[in-house]
């Protein structure tokens, strides 16, 4: 499966609706600590926009809502895997991305035969506090050797300027949050990402 090489991650449907018409074709909705009704509305808006533009929407964490709302993609981290019903997720036809940070997590992810595997944080991130220090580009190359044909996503501190290095090191996709959302001109930054990923 060939996935788009640029994979922005946003915390609202508003961001999805802003980014997708610019040409983004793979996007994650990552919303934390919200009531189910709010989440449902955000997911439905983002799904409608992505479907209208032929883009793929990945729902982070909320696997029950992803099933209920007929989403196509889901991203789960290792803690999410502790409680997720993988059989139900697969029965619903959801495609799956899984986060990894070390070899034990990678083995667990590979056993699920996911549609992509993410490695992070490649560089330090300001988005969230993590127990992992930066993995670096050599680690991406090692991971690509281990995941084989499964698409590998680099995440954590990624920027337009760092993207080429990540692709050269073995990443098939690069995910980013604050490089876009904290940029003074997010639309121009998204266009620069699309160019860097082309
Ligand atoms: C593409 C991508 N990679 C990694 C993550 C992190 O997932 P997780 O470890 O479950 O942490 P949260 O994002 O849920 O805080 C991701 N969301 N997307
Ligand atoms: C959500 C997330 N997961 C990571 C991981 O390593 O699993 S790093 C990360 C944050 C990515 O944000 P930014 O692009 O702003 O650094
Ligand atoms: Mg998670």
User: Ligand 2 mean position to 9 CA, how many Å?
Assistant: 9
Query: At 59, is the pLDDT very low, low, confident or very high (cuts 50, 70, 90)?
Result: very high
User: Ligand 2 mean position to 49 CA, how many Å?
Assistant: 24
Identify which of 120, 122, 152, 178 to mutate to test ligand 2's pocket (most ligand atoms within 8 A of the CB).
120
Q: Which of 170, 164, 172, 168 is nearest to 193 (CA)?
A: 164
When pLDDT is averaged across residues 161-166 and rounded to a whole number, the result is 98
Residue 174 clears pLDDT 80, i.e. is over it: yes
Q: In whole angstroms, what is the distance from residue 104 CA to residue 13 CA? A: 34
Q: What is the pLDDT of residues 8-56, one digit of tens each?
A: 999 999 999 999 999 999 999 999 999 999 999 999 999 999 999 999 9
Residue 101 clears pLDDT 80, i.e. is over it: yes
Query: At 70, is the pLDDT very low, low, confident or very high (cuts 50, 70, 90)?
Result: very high
Q: Which of 113, 103, 107, 164 is nearest to 135 (CA)?
A: 103
Alpha helices in 112-185 (DSSP H): 137-147, 160-169, 178-181
Q: In whole angstroms, what is the distance from residue 103 CA to residue 30 CA? A: 25
> Which pLDDT does position 2 carry in this prediction?
87
Q: What is the pLDDT of residues 120-145, one digit of tens each?
A: 999 999 999 999 999 999 999 999 99
**Which amino acid residue places its CA nearest to atom 2 of ligand 2?**
156
Ligand 2 and 8: CB distance under 6 A: no
Residue 1 clears pLDDT 80, i.e. is over it: no
Residue 170 clears pLDDT 80, i.e. is over it: yes
User: Ligand 3 mean position to 79 CA, how many Å?
Assistant: 7
The answer to whether the complex's ipTM is over 0.90 is yes
Identify which of 60, 100, 117 to mutate to test ligand 1's pocket (most ligand atoms within 8 A of the CB).
60
């Amino acid at each position: 499966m060939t996935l788009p090489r640029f994979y922005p991650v946003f915390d609202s449907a508003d961001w999805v609706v802003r980014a997708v018409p610019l040409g983004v074709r793979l996007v994650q909705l990552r919303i934390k600590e919200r009531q189910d009704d709010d989440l449902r509305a955000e997911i439905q808006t983002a799904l409608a926009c992505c479907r209208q533009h032929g883009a793929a929407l990945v729902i982070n964490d909320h696997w029950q809502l992803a099933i209920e709302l007929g989403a196509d993609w889901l991203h789960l981290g290792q803690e999410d895997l502790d409680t997720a019903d993988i059989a139900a997720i697969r029965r619903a036809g959801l495609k799956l991305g899984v986060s990894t940070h070390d070899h034990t997590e990678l083995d667990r992810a590979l056993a699920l035969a996911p549609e992509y595997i993410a490695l992070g944080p490649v560089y330090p991130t300001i988005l969230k506090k993590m127990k992992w220090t930066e993995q670096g580009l050599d680690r991406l190359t090692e991971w690509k050797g281990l995941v084989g044909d499964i698409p590998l996503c680099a995440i954590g501190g990624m920027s337009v300027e760092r993207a080429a290095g990540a692709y050269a090191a073995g990443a098939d996709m690069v995910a980013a949050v604050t490089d876009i959302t904290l940029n003074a001109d997010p639309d121009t930054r998204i266009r620069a990402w699309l160019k860097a990923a082309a």
